[in-house]
Amino acid sequence: MSNDTLQKGPVHVLPSLPYAENALEPVISARTIEFHYGKHHKGYVDNLNKLIAGTEYAALKLEKLIGETAGKPDKAGIFNNASQVWNHTFFWNSLKPKGGGEPPAALKKKIETDFGTMDALKKELTTAATTQFGSGWAWLVLEGSVLKVVKTGNADSPLTKGMKPLLTVDVWEHAYYLDYQNRRADYVAAVLDKLINWEFAALNLE
């Protein structure tokens, strides 16, 4: 195979899940992961590769591609798929089996400085996740030197708003409908209590 042939192959690949498909049960079922990771996330990767094939965008790394296409209506297809690829990879890493509990000490101290208490942060995350109208994401981010909770619609990302994401919760219906139907608040509460990966958030703070 020549180099020329290799360069025409898919630029972006679906990253491996950081755990088994059934590892988040009973909070998120293997069936949900099978569709959410295996169909939705994979679909964004496949669509992105099709959209950028043979274009200048094929040479860009994912975060650069997101920054270059954000806010450009004629590039919305590329942006939406690229950002959804990034958001989903970040979401899988924001969860872990037997998550929840207490953050590492340095992150906990920072949370207490910026939000007052862990409960206050969880309440803000829950409000953001449950009041996002329609599809989107709730995030813990660092803006400047301050932790904040923000929500974004559809594929939008804090990355394009100059913020550093620490963790996210996917609140698209495909994230919870098989397991929780319309009960988004129950899904969010279970994720925050049992799956959220504070160690991952702490690594992103460093």
Q: Which residue, 156 or 170, has its beta carbon nearer to Mn ion?
A: 170
Of the candidate spans 15-23, 104-112, 149-157, 166-174, the one that interacts with Mn ion by CB under 5 A turns out to be 166-174
Angle between the N-to-C axes of helices 76-94 and 198-205, in degrees from 0 to 180, rounded to the nearest 10: 120
Residues in 168-187 at the binding interface with Mn ion, rule: CB under 5 A = 170, 172, 175
Closest CB to Mn ion among residues 37, 115 = 37
Work out how close the CB of 116 gets to Mn ion at its nearest, in angstroms, rounded to a whole number. Answer: 31
Handedness of CA 109, 28, 184, 133 (dihedral sign): positive
Residue 15 is classified by DSSP as P
What track of x and - describes contact with Mn ion for positions 114 through 153 (by CB under 5 A)? ----------------------------------------
Least CB distance to Mn ion at residue 175 (A): 5
Residues 37-66 that bind Mn ion (CB under 5 A): none
Report helix, strand and coil shares of the chain as percent, to nearest 5. 55, 10, 30
Q: Supply φ then ψ for residue 168, to 5 degrees.
A: -145, 155
What residue is closest to Mn ion based on CB?
Answer: 170
Which CB sits closer to Mn ion, 69 or 94?
Answer: 94
d(CA 37, CA 106): 32
The DSSP H or E segment spanning 50 is helix 42-52
Number of H helices, E strands in the chain: 10, 3
Closest approach of Cβ 83 to Mn ion, in Å? Answer: 11
- The residue ranges that bind Mn ion (CB under 5 A) are 170, 172, 175
